[in-house]
């Protein structure tokens, strides 16, 4: 029952969020998935490892696929390179059962999340000024 309410809350949160806030939520989900995949690797639970790495790979793949290289310019190209690096590391972590390969993607996602969160905060402030 709690899962149903959690899912409804998350859907409502996404539906009422700005695009920037949605990106932050996606980073949160990817970070959480990688952390849970680490637990799966360390505990030998291959099913959970695969499930959560698959989720993280899907999220990062989606973030990568919606980059706008025309409007985003060099920032979009840099994000593309970072996403490709993260995807490669996650696939390698999965194939080798190597939790250390998750460290780089986690650092990247955490840093990117902080930047996007700051943008979301600034947007919220600016909306309150209007």
Residue pair 22/10 in contact (Cβ under 8 Å)? The answer is: no
Q: Which CATH architecture has domain 18-123?
A: Up-down Bundle (1.20)
Which residues are CB-neighbours of 52 under 8 A, at least 6 positions away?
33, 34, 36, 37, 40
What is the H or E stretch that residue 29 is in?
helix 19-43
User: Is the distance from CB of 124 to CB of 28 less than 8 angstroms?
Assistant: no
Where are the domains positioned within the chain?
18-123
Per-residue pLDDT of the chain (130 residues; tens, 9 = 90+): 555 544 554 555 544 468 999 999 999 999 999 999 999 999 999 999 999 999 999 999 999 999 999 999 999 999 999 999 999 999 999 999 999 999 999 999 999 999 999 999 998 888 876 5
């Amino acid at each position: 029952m709690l899962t149903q309410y959690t899912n409804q809350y998350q859907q409502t949160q996404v539906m009422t969020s700005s695009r920037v806030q949605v990106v932050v939520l996606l980073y949160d989900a990817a970070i959480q998935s990688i952390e849970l995949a680490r637990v799966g690797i360390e505990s030998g639970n291959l099913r959970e490892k695969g499930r959560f790495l698959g989720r993280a790979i899907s999220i990062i793949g989606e973030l990568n696929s919606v980059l706008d290289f025309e409007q985003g310019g060099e920032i979009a190209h840099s994000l593309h390179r970072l996403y490709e690096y993260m995807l490669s590391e996650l696939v390698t972590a999965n194939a080798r059962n190597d939790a250390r390969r998750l460290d780089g993607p986690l650092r990247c996602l955490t840093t990117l999340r902080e930047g996007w969160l700051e943008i979301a905060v600034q947007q919220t402030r600016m909306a309150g000024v209007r």
